[in-house]
Amino acid sequence: MATAKTASKKKSSVITAPKSNKIRLAFIGTGGISASHLDALRQLPQYEIVAGCDIKPERNTWFKAHDICQNANTYTDFNEMLKKEKIDAVDVCTPNGVHAPATIAALNAGCHVICEKPMAMNPKECEAMCAAAEKAGKLLEIGFQWRYHPSTLMCMRAIKEGVLGDILYVKVHAMRRRGVPNWGVFGQKALQGGGPMIDIGVHQIESAHCAIGQPKPVAASGKTWTFLGDKPSKVVSMWPNWDYKTYTVEDLCVGQVRFENGILMQIESAFCSHLEENEYLNWEVMGTKGGFNFRDNTIYHDMAGTMVNSKAAYLPIGNAWDQFFINKLQNFSDAILKGTPLGADGQEGTAVQKIIDGLYRSAAKGGVEVAIK
């Protein structure tokens, strides 16, 4: 929606916040993924963590044990926290089903928001979040960190410089051979919205979509299967003994998305499969002049009458996972304090959500192509 893009991309004014130029940050959701956020925030002194909220008191205890959170107040009701605390920005790290209500409440309270992926449970919730940001005049960023990966940036540069020519086709992989999370609510559709496609596929969809210029999705077709996750398993795996009794999501989702500019994207994502796991978290782009492989940071092209594989001699990957979170939280603070553009704004989050929603809607209809509007 155009208004969401305008609200997110326009330059923001500096917050009327402490003279120290610090952002008073609060968390909604103090378990799970918040750990990676807290590790990153140790490297970002522009933030001051003033509060945290979780419905489970033990998570708040864990949160307070962090050195940078010792002065923070904790709550079990985010509405109470938003009412009592002086907050500039909120970091939403809850299960997917709480993303929209928590984000909208924080925006209505006058806070900027960075919300973990996926943006919400469905496009309708995403649009409500964007509308709340527009009405409040606040920033809404979605926590898609793989767009900051050096390989993603390499592909973006290659496309911008014309090395790959016109983009024709993208293939996205997020495949685990046996990798059902045995913590949290990842297997419960009512709380997560889906399984591997909305949990891990979303990362690779977004980073590939970002790399090719964020074209508008117009149609999708997909199929889902559940054949292992909802049954007890004695197979040795990295995360054994998941709760198969409450498992209501897909094991495997495969589909295709058509974009307005003619590009096709094929997507496959699995918690459980009988395939080698070497395609976990990867994507490939093929153009008229060359191709690109994310995992191998390699460009495939022709040179001197020869098919050539040009692999990056150096990329600053290092501990990429930690750097991802530093980069996205740095981007968020720069947008707040300096008025620079957001990375993944509400419009990008909504576009990715529409892709996933289209795949799931198609699967529910037996795999027929459905329109994305």
Nearest by Cα to 279 from 292, 270, 288: 270
pLDDT tens per residue across span 243-262: 999 999 999 999 999 999 99
Is the link from the previous residue into 123 a cis peptide, with omega within 30 of 0?
A: no
Strand partners, 355: none
Strand partners, 88: none
What span, in angstroms and rounded, lies between the C-alpha atoms of 56 and 68?
20
As a whole number, mean pLDDT of residues 39-49 equals 97
Query: pLDDT over 70 for what percent of the chain?
Result: 94
Nearest by Cα to 358 from 100, 168, 122: 122
As a whole number, mean pLDDT of residues 347-355 equals 97
pLDDT tens per residue across span 166-201: 999 999 999 999 999 999 999 999 999 999 999 999
Helix (H, G, I), strand (E, B) or coil at 226: coil
pTM: 0.92
- Which pLDDT score, from 0 to 100, does residue 12 have? 42
Is the pLDDT reported for residue 137 higher than 60?
yes
Contacts of 261 (CB under 8 A, 6+ apart): 215, 216
- Provide the CATH topology of domain 2-145+322-345: Rossmann fold (3.40.50)
pLDDT tens per residue across span 223-242: 999 999 999 999 999 999 99
Tokens of 193: 């919205």
Tokens of 226: 């559940």
Tell me which CATH code domain 150-316 carries: 3.30.360.10
- Which pLDDT score, from 0 to 100, does residue 278 have? 55
CA angle 16, 21, 25 (to 5 degrees): 80
What span, in angstroms and rounded, lies between the C-alpha atoms of 91 and 114?
5
Query: Is the separation of the CB atoms in 15 and 336 below 8 Å?
Result: yes
Is the pLDDT reported for residue 139 higher than 50?
yes
Mean pLDDT of the chain: 93
> So where are the chain's domains?
2-145+322-345, 150-316
Is the pLDDT reported for residue 14 higher than 50?
no
Residue 211 pLDDT grade (very low, low, confident, very high; cuts 50, 70, 90): very high
